[in-house]
């Protein structure tokens, strides 16, 4: 979005490389519907949609108001649903398509001071996994990419709580979110292998993998968290398989190709 203003330089750079640029605001139904329709017209169809729009938070969970939560979920969850609803009729008509949902390792575990973000990414994980099951018979794939923290503009555009009226009651803990974030930034600076290009490469690999062979979840991390999440994901996949088999629905776990 904002391809004519704050994101113009990036849009121009991509256009110079041959990309077709479409302005789209995931928080606006009309913008999403018209943007997806324009993209289909420009490219003669679409095969892959990457749901990457998102915003993070930092602060004590109690201090985030309901309006704060609504704003966050409007981007991180409802925005994804808007985009998916706009593209899925096209995918079903052509009998194929790939939805890539950019989640986070914080969509698998909860860390203090990121509570609303945790909640939004846990919701996204459920949304994406349900789509994988409900769309498999139509040849439409739904996958999840779970990056760790990376040094991108995402870190500079965090949401903070609107209500600080309970600061005093938290005592010294009120400073903990900023202290934890500073520590994390230091860890990132000391780990140059945590390169955002890793995430782009993982997405590209997922796209190039033949339909029916793509994993549900792809972890992308070099800072140690990912090694704890991958066994959890593998265990969950086994549980999923067992439950669907028990209910006679195991065919829904196999993509029609």
Tokens of 250: 């195991």
Q: Where are the beta strands (DSSP E) in the chain?
A: 48-51, 97-102, 140-147, 217-220
Q: Which of 46, 128, 51 is nearest to 90 (CA)?
A: 46
Q: Which of 67, 78, 55, 87 is nearest to 124 (CA)?
A: 78
Based on the residue annotation, tell me whether 117 is a catalytic residue of this protein.
Answer: yes
d(CA 36, CA 86): 7
**Phi–psi pair at 47, nearest 5 degrees:** -115, -25
14, 145, 151 from 198: Cα distances, Å? 19, 11, 12
Residue labelled with tokens 């945590």? 194
64, 116, 171, 186, 188 from 175: Cα distances, Å? 16, 18, 8, 17, 20
Point out the catalytic residue in the list 114, 117, 131, 150. 117
Q: How many residues belong to the chain?
A: 257
Supply the DSSP string of 161-222, one letter for each residue: -S--TTTGGGGGGGGHHHHHHHHHHHHHHT-TT--THHHHHHHHHHHHSPTT---SEEEE-S
Catalytic positions, written as ranges = 117
């Amino acid at each position: 979005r904002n391809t004519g203003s704050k994101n113009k330089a990036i849009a121009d750079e991509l256009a110079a490389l041959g990309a077709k640029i479409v302005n789209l605001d995931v928080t606006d139904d009309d913008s999403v519907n018209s943007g997806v329709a324009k993209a289909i017209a420009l490219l003669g169809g679409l095969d892959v949609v990457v749901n990457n729009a998102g915003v993070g938070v930092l602060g004590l969970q109690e201090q985030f108001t309901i309006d704060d939560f609504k704003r966050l979920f409007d981007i991180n969850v409802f925005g994804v649903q808007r985009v998916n609803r706009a593209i899925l009729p096209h995918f079903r008509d052509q009998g194929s398509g790939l939805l890539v949902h950019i989640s986070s390792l914080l969509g698998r575990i909860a860390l203090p001071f990121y509570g609303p973000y945790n909640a939004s990414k846990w919701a996204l994980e459920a949304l994406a996994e349900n789509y994988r099951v409900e769309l498999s018979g139509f040849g439409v794939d739904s996958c999840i990419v779970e990056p760790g923290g990376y040094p991108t503009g995402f870190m500079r555009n965090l949401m903070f709580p609107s209500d600080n009226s309970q600061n005093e009651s938290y005592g010294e803990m009120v400073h903990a979110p900023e202290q934890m974030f500073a520590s994390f930034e230091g860890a990132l600076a000391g780990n140059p292998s945590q390169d955002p290009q890793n995430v782009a490469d993982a997405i590209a690999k997922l796209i190039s993998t033949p339909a029916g062979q793509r994993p549900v979840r792809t972890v992308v991390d070099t800072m140690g968290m990912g090694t704890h999440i991958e066994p959890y994901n593998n265990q969950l996949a086994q549980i999923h398989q067992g439950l669907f088999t028990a209910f006679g629905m195991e065919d829904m776990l196999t993509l029609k190709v």
